[in-house]
A and B are shown apart, each in its own frame.
Chain A
Amino acid sequence: MITDEAKRVTVFCGHYGSGKTNIAVNYALRLSSLGKPTALADVDIVNPYFRSKDSENELRDAGVEVVSLPFANTNVDLPSLPSQVYGLVEQRVRYAVFDVGGDDRGAYALGRFSPYILEENNFEMLFVVNFYRPLTRTAKEAFEVMREIDKVCELPFTGIVNNSNLGDLTDEDCVRRSFEEAQKLSDLSQMPIRFTSVCDKLTDRFRGDAFFPIHLQSKFF
């Protein structure tokens, strides 16, 4: 799943609240643990709270460079993008993981970097989907969101990440019940399922390359 053949640029797009940030943070940590110099680019211009910046210390400790908006997690509501992102797509030195804002509105921000990514042609553009989100309950609904994103960011999708979960209530059954819709989405979009995410407590139930264990930040409320 994430092997030494990982693409240099990995982009996570998807419906609002599908879990792109959690996936991106964990993916960057994994790349770094494989000895790859990695940077995480936070280009989410939509979401005000619960951003990848929340994991900044953990990422930096693991050797991941974090490129985020100077205003992230502050009181400034300014949808700007960090100029260092250009460094990531132009220099082609480090592995870059992109955490993109939700829906087509969030994906607009990616458009300006797409030409560089396309030119290098060493990327994965992954659609993150949670079939327990109310507006993407079915493969058909998810496919609609996928097409909306596709239209605005000018970077073609290359795969699907099944991140179906119910937060704290996620159990084995909950993950298994998502497989059918994920396969339908794969058939509809003709995109492979790159992996299915599995939270810490379920990792022993789902082993193998098809699954990606993710660690979630704990809350104090």
Chain B
Amino acid sequence: MSEKVLMKGNEAIAEAAIRAGCRHYFGYPITPQTELAAYMAKRMPKIDGVFLQAESEIAAINMVYGVSSAGLRVMTSSSSPGVSLKQEGISYIAGSDLPALIVNVERGGPGLGGIQPSQSDYFQATKGGGHGDYHLIVLTPASVQEMADLTALAFDLSDKYRVPAMLLADGTIGQMMEPVELPAESGCTVEKPWAVTGTKMQRRHNIVNSLYLVPEELERTNIERFERYAQIEANEVRYEKFMTEDADVCVVAFGIAARVSKNAVIAARNEGIKAGLIRPITVWPFPKKAIAEAAKHVKGFVSVELSMGQMIEDVRLACECTRPVSLCSRVGGMIPSPDEVLESIKKMNGGLK
């Protein structure tokens, strides 16, 4: 049998996490990410790992906090309402400078919303989500292969910078099946001298904590953390450019919206319209330079999203409002069709006021 297998996006995340050395998974079922937990439930006992269905999402994220404190690769996953519940824990993990992987396979919101796909947790993922000054490294897969590849990358980046990472997927990418080549076995390559692993009476004990009694110390810690964020913004931006070199109209889209947009860009080119696509793979850090570069020659941008317009704000900021930015979106579990995106491209090409 070949090396490639046919997997659901959710399963690909789970298997890739295991191959990246993650042996601790804490979760709680919610559509449309349940296959991830179900896969972990089957696999973890066979490899001496821990699968634990917690009593709630809040419990699960705090179990992640605990295992990460002990220096091990650990993850949790959920979908939009469940990720909202995790926000307090995520803030504590960020405030304790711990690596961890949080997966959000988004569904429609707000509130209980629905079980169909969505990208409307963009603000929550990229602008904080919980309280306090912090960022997550946010990766947005657009295929089952990327579900696997970005899971491995998320663990690496998270360990390297001691910043929690989020895989921000949508229900469609989670549910769809595609052939995938699973990443090789790997594991953490950085030292974790801060981990709470027992002193064996040979060193001072480590403390993992987000509480600082002295204001000056908390300020210093925040500033130091933002220096790491600056390094991430300088070194870890990832995106894909598609036919942007001579583009008059630049579409910006990630995840499932980018797949639809790519087809729309091809359709536009076939009609003689010079369209291109920038697909952010990291949405924090956002590919600001790529957008700014494109702004030098495009008439305008079209932000294609499964939300009422969230990423569009980052596109506007990145081009410093030097070009018009329009929104093409569907919400509530709907996905924009290639024709709808093409229509938006045509409007922008004709000139927007």
List residues of A whose CB falls within 8 A of some B CB: 16-17, 47-50, 74-77, 130-135, 137, 165-169, 174, 177-178, 181, 220-221
Contact = CB atoms under 8 A, between A and B. Distances in A.
Contact of B6 (A47, A48, A76, A133): A133
A49 B116 CA distance: 8
B337 A220 contact: yes
A41 B177 CA distance: 23
Contact of B172 (A75, A167, A221): A221
B118 to A, nearest CB: 11
B5 A133 contact: yes
A61 B333 CA distance: 27
Interface in B10-32: 11, 15, 31-32
Interface stretch (B107-115, B195-203, B244-252, B283-291): B107-115
A17 B177 contact: yes
Contacts of A130: 6
Most chain B beta-carbon contacts within 10 A, residue among A131, A132, A177: A132
Nearest to A75: B114
16 contacts: A17-B177, A47-B175, A48-B171, A49-B117, A75-B333, A77-B115, A132-B6, A133-B5, A133-B7, A134-B5, A134-B7, A134-B15, A166-B4, A167-B178, A169-B179, A221-B259
B179 A166 contact: yes
B98 interface: no
Contacts, number: 83
B35 A16 contact: yes
Interface in B288-317: none
A73 B338 CA distance: 21
Interface residues of B, number: 38
Interface of B: 1-2, 4-8, 11, 15, 31-32, 35, 38-39, 42, 108, 113-117, 171-172, 175-179, 182, 256, 259-260, 263, 332-333, 335, 337-338
Given A133-B5, A169-B4, 8 more contacts: A16-B38, A49-B172, A50-B175, A75-B114, A166-B2, A166-B6, A221-B172, A221-B335
A167 B179 contact: yes
Contacts of B114: 74-75
Contact of A177 (B2, B31, B39): B2
Contact of A75 (B15, B35, B108): B108
Contacts of B4: 132, 166, 169
Most chain A beta-carbon contacts within 10 A, residue among B1, B6, B38, B338: B6
B5 A168 contact: no
Contacts of B333: 75
Contacts of B260: 220-221
A48 B1 contact: no
Nearest to A130: B6
3 A-B pairs with the lowest CB-CB distances in the bound complex, closest first: A75-B114, A221-B259, A49-B175
Nearest to A137: B1
